[in-house]
Amino acid sequence: MEEQAAKIRIDELREILRENSRRYYVDNAPTMSDYEFDQLMHELERLEAEFPQFDSPDSPTRRVGSDLDAPVGANAESQARQGFVQRPHRYPMLSLGNTYSIAEIEEFVARAEKTLENVRFSYSCELKFDGTAICLTYRKGKLAQALTRGDGVQGDDVTENVRRIDSIPQQLHGDYPEEFEIRGEILMPYAAFDALNREREAQEEAPFANPRNAASGSLKLINPEEVERRGLICTLYHVPAESVDFASHSEALDAAARWGLPVSPERRLCHDITEIKAYIDHWDQARKFLPYATDGIVIKINELACQRALGYTAKSPRWAVAYKFKAEQACTELLSIDYQVGRTGAVTPVANLAPVQLSGTLVKRATLNNADQMALLDIRTGDWVYVEKGGEIIPKITGIDPAHRAKDAQPPVFPSVCPDCGTPLVKAEDEAKWFCPNQDGCPMQIKGRLLHFVSRKAMGILAGDMTIDQFYAAGLARTPADLYDITKYQLLSLEGWQDRSADRFLASLEASKQVPFERVLFALGIRFVGETTAKGIARHFGDIDTLAAATQEQLLEVDDVGEVIARSITDYFAKPEHREQIERLRAAGLRFDGAGQDAAVSDALAGKTVVISGNFSISRERMKELIVAHGGKAGSSVSGSTAFLLAGTKPGPEKLKKCEKLGIPVISEEEFRAMLPKAVPASASLPSGGKKSRPRFAAEMPPEGNTLPAGESSSKETIEELTLF
């Protein structure tokens, strides 16, 4: 390759890798498989070695992927990941070199044996867990700090969230050191991952792509109670040699296990390449039956003196390497295609497959997303299709096996009418999905909206799929307002309902009348208005009447409200039937204004839009709440309406440049706190510890053997429904 062509390709690869690293570590929404990313990284490494004149310390080959500085995003998860204090790692957290080639593992072993000639050593072979890295510090046996990998030099302090993970002990036992670090991975088991995605899909939110992304996003939620609910687990696999006094890596992990720490029992000491290969071959098959995601094997020199002799590169230790499994794929028969209608009317094709085992789960269904993807795959019912879980992702069909196609196989015809109500489907020019426009007459949309309304994040009413189906079939509920008209007599007339189950349901209805306006607004199910957007809109307008009267221009003044959301809101309130439903809900006692919520502490920032950037003595999320508590508005980007930029340590350079260009003042945290009333200490200015108070209602749990309504079970999922938040 000529020098100029190499320079162009190197720059291109660096840009692609940086962008996809951000999507992977920060957004938790990768668009490239691990294998594709690693191949591009290896290509960049080869070119940089061949053309050293283009070497750069900022190259992705020299830097650890970073999960710091998550942007204020377009969805609730990304916005929730704001505001963690960043702290330095005592010892850098580096990444591992990786390969998909057994030949390269052989080369790693050969290099180690050559460098450590005449020294007896062994290899610790371990599963490579597909989660998000964590570094724990224990002092006097108590968990003192938990940091994410961050950029390897510093990480986000997620200690309070980690305290909610059951498998991580708060207090150790035995002969533990006075202070030490231990590192590992936060994982989301398949069962918890599937449950979380079912919940997200029920809310018509984008599902997480894989358990790693779900674990990473969950670990950085602002609310520790929500983190606890996500079912995360932890496996620890490395004690920095500088942190404790042991002769080998395996001795350190054995000691950690005695102290009560969750260390993987699947590791094995190997003595040569033959034993390493046998370990890899075993887990390439056995991993499919693990309850959590793994994506390879890590091979480490076991003796710590040998590790020190081999040392480190700028990015990775020379004494360890990761062998990554290629994306698991299976070929199975496409039995049929269903067309599902969501609560917003979107029609989604779903492939029904002959069951096939993939990455620890039995796959029976895979989404086909939309008509365009079906045409791109050129898929037919009866085809044998390739199903993949690259990096343990959600099952997707990646292609077909034409050799198995019947000669008379015909391409499926995407429905032109709604498969549920028969209404002709419509599709906007700028959208890939077809929609049923019969919002108020389509049974699936009606039941979908009822399920959304009663869900935990909305009104928290004690009802599941089967209950809503019952109500719909019996003619008791077509709209959310109908739920508040249901009587105990009507409930007892339904199959499976008894006094206690009826009382619990009615009590949950009564408790839902205390749900704050922002959640009521989310519960209405206005298209594109998610949980976070609803919160911003509710706080901006204050009550439903002001919101209903707002123009699109006024709606666009709200952070994160664009033209599509603004148009959806005005369209919603333009319909008389929607206004009628709101009046019925208001008459039932639901909150449609900010009454009962925390009042502002002062009006010191009234009328001021404040944009924050950098790190502060409290989290950025709490700093935003502090601004709102004193009458201000927390803006997301600098504009002409910004009163000032509140800059902590390491503020964003682009925001500083824009402030300078627009002449907007930049003030420090100390100057900001001086602006607040002295009668109320700034450090104590947040009501209820910085959180909005929320009513809680715990429905009485049924005694063992008590009958639940028809179709409901006493499973964990049903039990969780009984506690309303």
Instruction: Indicate if 513 and 573 belong to the same structural domain.
Output: yes
Instruction: Indicate if 46 and 94 belong to the same structural domain.
Output: no
Residue 600 lies in a domain: no
The pLDDT score that the predictor gives to residue 419 is 95
The pLDDT score that the predictor gives to residue 293 is 86
* 312 bridge partner residues: 317
Does pLDDT of 694 surpass 50? Answer: no
Instruction: Indicate if 319 and 334 belong to the same structural domain.
Output: no
The pLDDT score that the predictor gives to residue 680 is 45
The per-residue pLDDT for range 615-645, each reduced to its tens digit, is 888 877 678 778 877 888 777 678 778 899 9
Residue 601 lies in a domain: no
Instruction: Indicate if 551 and 641 belong to the same structural domain.
Output: no
* Higher pLDDT pick, 43 / 492: 492
CATH number of the structural domain spanning residue 114: 3.30.470.30
The first and second tokens of residue 26, run together, are 């920060």
pLDDT band at 76 (very low <50, low <70, confident <90, very high): very low
Instruction: Indicate if 483 and 570 belong to the same structural domain.
Output: yes
Residue 103 lies in a domain: yes
* Domain end marker among 306, 324, 342: 324
The per-residue pLDDT for range 496-518, each reduced to its tens digit, is 999 999 999 999 999 999 999 99
Does pLDDT of 304 surpass 60? Answer: yes
- 3 state SS of 556: coil
* Domain end marker among 378, 404, 430: 404
Does pLDDT of 152 surpass 60? Answer: yes
The pLDDT score that the predictor gives to residue 372 is 86
Does pLDDT of 699 surpass 50? Answer: no
CATH number of the structural domain spanning residue 676: 3.40.50.10190
Active-site residue flag, 128: yes
pLDDT band at 32 (very low <50, low <70, confident <90, very high): low
Instruction: Indicate if 125 and 242 belong to the same structural domain.
Output: yes
pLDDT band at 689 (very low <50, low <70, confident <90, very high): very low
The pLDDT score that the predictor gives to residue 276 is 96
Residue 60 lies in a domain: no
Instruction: Indicate if 459 and 567 belong to the same structural domain.
Output: yes
Q: How much helix, strand and coil, in percent to the nearest 5, is found in the chain? A: 40, 20, 40
The pLDDT score that the predictor gives to residue 546 is 93
Q: What is the DSSP string of 223-281?
A: -HHHHHHTT-EEEEEE--TTTS--SBHHHHHHHHHHTT--B-TT-EEE-SHHHHHHHHH
pLDDT band at 66 (very low <50, low <70, confident <90, very high): low
pLDDT band at 691 (very low <50, low <70, confident <90, very high): very low
Domain boundaries, position 394? 328-404
Catalytic residue among 128, 315, 324, 633: 128
CATH number of the structural domain spanning residue 578: 1.10.150.20
Instruction: Indicate if 34 and 85 belong to the same structural domain.
Output: no
Does pLDDT of 649 surpass 90? Answer: no
Closest CA to 135 of 90, 72, 182: 182
Does pLDDT of 586 surpass 90? Answer: yes
Residue 191 lies in a domain: yes
Residue 599 lies in a domain: no
Does pLDDT of 585 surpass 50? Answer: yes
Mean pLDDT of the 337-350 span: 91
Closest CA to 337 of 409, 404, 262: 409
Worst-scoring range by mean pLDDT, 33-37, 138-142, 575-579, 640-644? 33-37
Mean pLDDT of the chain: 82
Q: What is the DSSP string of 107-160?
A: HHHHHHHHHTTT----EEEEEEE-SEEEEEEEETTEEEEEEE-TTSSEEEB-HH
Residue with the two structure tokens 């309902």: 497
Q: How many domains does the chain have?
A: 5
Instruction: Indicate if 171 and 287 belong to the same structural domain.
Output: yes
Instruction: Indicate if 232 and 303 belong to the same structural domain.
Output: yes
Residue 107 lies in a domain: yes
Instruction: Indicate if 254 and 391 belong to the same structural domain.
Output: no
Q: CA angle at residue 168 from 163 to 171, to 5 degrees?
A: 85
Mean pLDDT of the 407-414 span: 91
The per-residue pLDDT for range 417-465, each reduced to its tens digit, is 999 999 999 998 777 889 999 988 999 999 999 999 999 889 999 998 8
pTM for the model: 0.48
Residue with the two structure tokens 């309406």: 641
- 3 state SS of 211: helix
CATH number of the structural domain spanning residue 340: 2.40.50.140
Residue 719 lies in a domain: no
Residue with the two structure tokens 């990455």: 359
The pLDDT score that the predictor gives to residue 361 is 67
The pLDDT score that the predictor gives to residue 712 is 38
Chain centroid to CA 163: 19
Closest CA to 176 of 260, 90, 267, 241: 260
> Burial level of 348, CB count in 10 A (0-12/13-18/19+)?
middle
User: C-alpha dihedral over 147, 150, 156, 159, to 10 degrees?
Assistant: -20
Q: What is the DSSP string of 17-58?
A: HHHHHHHHHTSS--SS-HHHHHHHHHHHHHHHHH-GGG--TT
The per-residue pLDDT for range 194-246, each reduced to its tens digit, is 888 888 776 656 677 778 888 988 898 877 888 888 999 999 999 987 777 89
Instruction: Indicate if 313 and 336 belong to the same structural domain.
Output: no
Residue with the two structure tokens 């080869």: 46
Mean pLDDT of the 122-134 span: 93
- 3 state SS of 411: coil
pLDDT band at 485 (very low <50, low <70, confident <90, very high): very high
* Domain end marker among 588, 622, 656: 588
